[in-house]
Amino acid sequence: MKTRAVVFAGQGAQFVGMGKDLAEAFPECRALFDKASAVMGFDLLKLCAEGPIESLTKSDNCQPAIFVTSVACYTALKNRVPGLQAAGLAGLSLGEWTALHVAGALSFEDTVRILRARGQFMQEACNERQGGMVSVMGLPMAELEKVCAQAGVQIANINSPEQIVLSGDKTKIGEAEKLAQAAGAKKTVPLPVAGAFHSVLMATAATRLETLLAGVSFAPTGVPVVSNVTGQPHGDPASIKAAMVRQVTSSVQWVSGVEWLKRAGVTEYVECGPGRVLAGLIKRIDKDAAAVSIQDVATLDKAVAALNA
């Protein structure tokens, strides 16, 4: 019997039109957007469905929008596969918040509020200092660590054995890219992001998030949720809260998280939310794993057929 995990999309996966057909097809998905709109004070579904992309991409809109769309994907899946059980949950950065909500650690409304504020805090930290990120392919970790030390940047995301993202001051990131190329990287790609996410340049955002979370109640998770910070399952509510603050400035240990799920017996993954990035990364980490992605009604139909096969 296959053991399944559900994983949730991170920031950058957004597109105009996301969530629209799910909200039209499933009343419970429409209700999620309505609840989020009441929290945010504007029609979130309209923004997701119609854009413009510039407004949808703003972090304080984008983070709650991807969260709600991802929960809608999961809700539609549960509608079609009522007995679905997950051995574990995970998400990439923002997606970890979705996993925590699905696991029962946080209410839907609290998660929307937190992500609206988190996005604002991160954007304002970006405005304070010009930062950047670059994806490096095909360079061993030992070499990347030398590059980071020499350029004065950080490892932000360990996405797969072949793909690692660096983050830091914009000028230093340019230097790091050149050093990585000189060290033998197969490919480097500067990322179109607002700043240096998952680096010390986000310290003010982390401090503000910690203050906000002090007034939020977390509950124990009903299913293991893998932490981006440690690559291991979260513990008690206090440690979850602390880890989610650290996540803002820490490296995303995606490879370690997928490896933990593999050791736990997971052989099949369902990605919920816009895009198909996580399914691709998982296949690079665990070549024997099966992975399906759900972002709309068409992909839901395909995923349900695959899960029932």
How far is it, in rounded angstroms, from Cα 210 to Cα 20? 33
Contacts of residue 215, Cβ cutoff 8 Å, sequence gap at least 6: none
Does residue 234 have an active-site annotation? no
- Tokens representing 240 are 């979850």
93 is an active site residue: yes
Residue closest to 131 by CA, chosen among 231, 205, 207, 211: 205
Number of Cβ within a 10 Å radius of residue 219: 14
Which strand (E) or helix (H) includes residue 240? Answer: helix 237-246
Cα separation, 119 vs 98, whole angstroms:
14
| C-beta contacts of 216-222 below 8 A and 24+ residues apart | 216/106, 216/110, 216/114, 216/241, 217/110, 218/100, 218/105, 218/106, 219/104, 219/105, 219/106, 220/104, 220/105, 221/89, 221/100, 221/103, 221/104, 221/105, 222/103, 222/104
Contact predicate 156/127, CB 8 Å: no
Q: Which of 59, 101, 167, 198 is catalytic?
A: 198
C-alpha separations of 37 from 65, 107, 109, 169, 258 in Å: 10, 15, 10, 35, 33
Of 93, 167, 227, 293, the catalytic one is 93
The catalytic residues are 93, 198
